[in-house]
């Protein structure tokens, strides 16, 4: 026992020395070796009893709600896509791997100006075995058109719903106010709801979540969510069950993954821990360009932040590359715009001011009184650490900064209420430049919109409204370049970096394909080896 105790102290001491040596530089191979060796010694090995019919995924927080009518957060929307069928779904089958509609409930469709015609399956069923009828489909559309629904603005554009019975299928014709290029992005968000259950349960529908998608809900609580393959779904996943383990602490999630309690973690592992998995034979780490953008929300109702010169000084005070290199381990790319680098709409001509701390300091010192700012973040460790670095950089430029972090629900509620000065946020699964309308149009303020800084620019409003109605891609590209330039000049929000997509996968999992823009769709293709040694 004494020998084991001394050996443990030796491992801890070596890890402390290695950590001290590596504080200001990328992790060394010696450090990685010592971490893996110490974890193995402490019993953090893969467990062989993980059920072969269940994919176990680690996530940092529970969804705000599992009710598909109100799911606004990324996890809630990703769950909705698994639990419910839609008229169409989005896949990376468009030009240059871009998003395009693919069949789901609809087998085919045609578009003529503002008239969208869909051929629908007639034999689709809900998870309780009841048929999906035209009444269910129309009810779903009407539900999402209701003013109380957070997605109502996207669906109120549908002015006419018609159904025509055919021998082999059901035809649905939707007529909108005008042509909009993002119509399929919107209609892909519409879950097909069971009218008979929703009308009976009302606001308590989540208690009896009869669904229509690939999976059905088995159980949901604060620590886990279990899904099981829907026997009535047309799409059959390769693994019967998916278990989401809600592990709020980053270090605990890291240890659970390394031990083998989890099969996969996507975009939710601290960047400093990823290298440990890269040097372990038990895991695969897959890194690709992502679809998430980390940015700063600025409350333009604030007397200080409404001044453009102050917003410009904040940009000059932030050293993005330093954060990317030393906090994010290089797993991000500096961002100047809210369009992804691999998008056809991305412009190399759009630039934020360069890092210039002295120039920022001069601006702050020229103001009538000392500048005081508060930055809010969620309490996720990576968000807090990034917030600390941003606060430090602003302090170096002469700003008195306080940093406050909150549990996600409290943090998000404050953002929607406008109860903040500056906050760190993510735009998740960015798909189209129409994001600019959602983030910057004056009608898109909370609680339903993403214009959380209360930006108001009548000229931009007109451009944003028209941009979504342009049919020809080359014309639309040039149009959104103008929009991006206006936003980068006004700085209502500050893009920081594009997060890389990082998946950590236990080697017993096969069939993983990254899906940065389509959420959890990769889960449908995963298979789990019965032999944990494979």
Give phi and psi for 259, each to the nearest 5: -70, -25
Asked if 445 and 416 count as a contact pair (C-beta separation under 8 A), the reply is no
Residue 382 falls inside a structural domain: yes
What tokens were used for 260? 């083998």
**Of 181, 208, 235, which residue sits at a domain end?**
208
Rounded distance, CA 272 to CA 498, Å?
A: 17
Rounded distance, CA 92 to CA 518, Å?
A: 8
**Of 208, 237, 271, which residue sits at a domain end?**
208
Residue 188 falls inside a structural domain: yes
pLDDT of residue 524: 95
Cis peptide before 447 (omega within 30 of 0): yes
Instruction: Provide the CATH number for the domain around residue 463.
Output: 3.10.105.10
DSSP state of 130: P
Residue 484 falls inside a structural domain: yes
Q: Are residues 201 and 313 in the same domain?
A: no
Residue 254 falls inside a structural domain: no
Q: Are residues 342 and 481 in the same domain?
A: yes
Asked if 167 and 456 count as a contact pair (C-beta separation under 8 A), the reply is no
Q: Are residues 315 and 196 in the same domain?
A: no
Q: Are residues 312 and 197 in the same domain?
A: no
Nearest CA among 331, 517, 412 for reference residue 71: 412
Rounded distance, CA 462 to CA 405, Å?
A: 37
Q: Which residues contact 395 (CB under 8 A, 6 or more apart)?
A: 401
The secondary structure of 215-226, three-state, reads EEEEEECCCEEE
Instruction: Provide the CATH number for the domain around residue 188.
Output: 3.90.76.10
**Predicted confidence pLDDT, tens digits, the chain (534 residues):** 333 344 334 344 334 434 433 433 444 444 455 455 555 544 555 554 578 899 999 999 999 899 999 998 889 999 999 999 999 998 877 666 667 899 999 999 999 999 999 999 989 999 999 999 999 999 999 999 999 998 898 899 999 999 999 988 899 999 999 998 889 989 999 999 999 999 999 999 999 999 999 999 999 999 999 999 999 999 999 999 999 999 999 899 999 999 999 999 999 998 889 999 999 999 999 999 999 999 999 999 999 999 999 999 999 999 999 999 989 989 999 999 999 998 888 988 888 888 999 999 999 999 999 999 999 999 888 899 999 999 999 999 999 999 999 998 899 899 989 999 999 999 888 888 989 998 999 999 987 788 999 999 999 999 998 888 888 888 999 999 999 999 999 999 999 999 999 999 999 999 999 988 888 999 999 999 865 444
- Phi/psi-derived region of residue 292, left when phi > 0, alpha when psi is between -120 and 50, beta in every other case: beta
Asked if 173 and 115 count as a contact pair (C-beta separation under 8 A), the reply is yes
Nearest CA among 295, 291, 293 for reference residue 342: 291
pLDDT of residue 180: 87
Residue 361 falls inside a structural domain: yes
Residue 353 falls inside a structural domain: yes
CA–CA distance from 142 to each of 79, 107, 109, 155, 194 (Å)?
A: 21, 22, 21, 8, 13
Strand partners, 243: 56, 226
Q: Are residues 426 and 304 in the same domain?
A: yes
Question: β-strands 115-120, 158-165: how paired?
Answer: unpaired
Asked if 137 and 169 count as a contact pair (C-beta separation under 8 A), the reply is no
Q: Are residues 93 and 198 in the same domain?
A: yes
| Helix (H) or strand (E) run with residue 501 in it | strand 493-506
Rounded distance, CA 11 to CA 494, Å?
A: 43
**Of 208, 240, 268, which residue sits at a domain end?**
208
Residue 68 falls inside a structural domain: no
Q: Which residues contact 3 (CB under 8 A, 6 or more apart)?
A: none
Q: Are residues 161 and 303 in the same domain?
A: no
pLDDT of residue 531: 55
Burial 264-298 (b: 16+ CB within 10 A, else e): bbbbbbbbbbbbbbeebeebbbeeeebbbbbbbbb
Torsion of CA 10, 382, 321, 389, to 10 degrees: -90
pLDDT of residue 363: 96
pTM over 0.85: no
Q: Exposed (0-12), middle (13-18) or buried (19+): which is 442, by Cβ within 10 Å?
A: middle
Rounded distance, CA 498 to CA 495, Å?
A: 8
- The count of domains in the chain is 2
pLDDT of residue 17: 36
Which range of residues forms the domain containing residue 327?
291-500
Residue 451 falls inside a structural domain: yes
């Amino acid at each position: 026992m004494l020998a084991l105790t001394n050996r443990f102290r030796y491992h801890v001491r070596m890890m402390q020395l290695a950590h001290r040596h590596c504080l200001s530089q990328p992790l060394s191979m010696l450090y990685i070796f010592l971490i893996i060796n110490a974890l193995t010694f402490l019993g953090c090995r893969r467990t062989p009893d993980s059920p072969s019919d269940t994919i176990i995924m680690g996530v940092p927080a529970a969804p705000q709600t599992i009710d598909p009518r109100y799911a606004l957060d990324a996890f809630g929307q990703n769950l909705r896509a698994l639990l419910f069928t839609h008229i169409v779904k989005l896949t990376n089958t468009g030009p240059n791997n871009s998003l395009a509609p693919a069949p789901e409930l609809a087998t085919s469709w045609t578009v003529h100006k503002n008239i969208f015609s869909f051929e629908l399956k007639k034999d689709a069923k809900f998870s309780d075995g009841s048929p999906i009828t035209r009444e269910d489909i129309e009810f779903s559309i009407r539900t999402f058109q209701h003013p109380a629904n957070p997605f109502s603005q996207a669906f109120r554009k549908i002015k006419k719903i018609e159904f025509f019975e055919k021998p082999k299928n059901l035809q649905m014709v939707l007529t909108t106010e005008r042509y909009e290029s993002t119509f399929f992005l919107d209609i892909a968000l519409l879950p097909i709801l069971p009218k008979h259950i929703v009308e009976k349960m009302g606001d308590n529908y989540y208690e009896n979540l009869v669904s229509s998608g690939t999976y059905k809900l088995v159980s949901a609580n604060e620590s886990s969510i279990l899904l099981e393959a829907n026997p009535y779904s047309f799409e059959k996943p390769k693994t019967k069950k998916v278990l989401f383990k809600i592990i709020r602490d980053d270090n605990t999630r890291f240890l659970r993954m390394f031990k083998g309690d989890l099969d996969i973690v996507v975009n939710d592992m601290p960047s400093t821990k990823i290298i440990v998995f890269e040097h372990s034979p038990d895991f695969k780490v897959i890194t690709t360009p992502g679809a998430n953008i980390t940015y700063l929300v600025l409350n333009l109702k604030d007397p200080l932040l409404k001044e453009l010169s102050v917003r410009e000084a904040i940009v000059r005070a932030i050293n993005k590359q330093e954060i990317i290199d030393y906090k994010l381990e290089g797993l991000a790319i500096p961002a100047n715009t809210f369009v992804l680098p691999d998008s056809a709409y991305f412009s190399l001509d759009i630039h934020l001011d360069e890092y210039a701390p002295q120039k920022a300091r001069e601006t702050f010192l020229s103001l009538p009184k000392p500048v005081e700012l508060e930055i809010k973040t969620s309490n996720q460790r990576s968000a807090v650490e990034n917030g600390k670095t941003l606060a430090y950089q602003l302090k170096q430029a002469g700003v008195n900064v306080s940093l406050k972090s909150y549990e996600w629900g409290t943090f998000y509620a404050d953002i929607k209420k406008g109860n903040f000065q500056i906050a760190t946020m993510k735009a998740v699964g960015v798909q189209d430049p129409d994001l600019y309308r959602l983030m910057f149009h004056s009608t898109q303020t909370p609680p339903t919109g993403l214009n959380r800084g209360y930006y108001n620019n009548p000229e931009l409003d007109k451009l944003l409204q028209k941009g979504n109605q342009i049919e020809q891609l080359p014309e639309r590209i040039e149009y959104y370049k103008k929009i991006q330039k206006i936003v980068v000049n006004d700085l209502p929000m500050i893009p920081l970096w594009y997060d890389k997509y990082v998946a950590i996968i236990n080697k017993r999992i096969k069939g993983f394909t990254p899906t940065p823009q389509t959420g959890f769709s990769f889960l449908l293709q995963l298979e789990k080896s019965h032999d944990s040694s494979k």
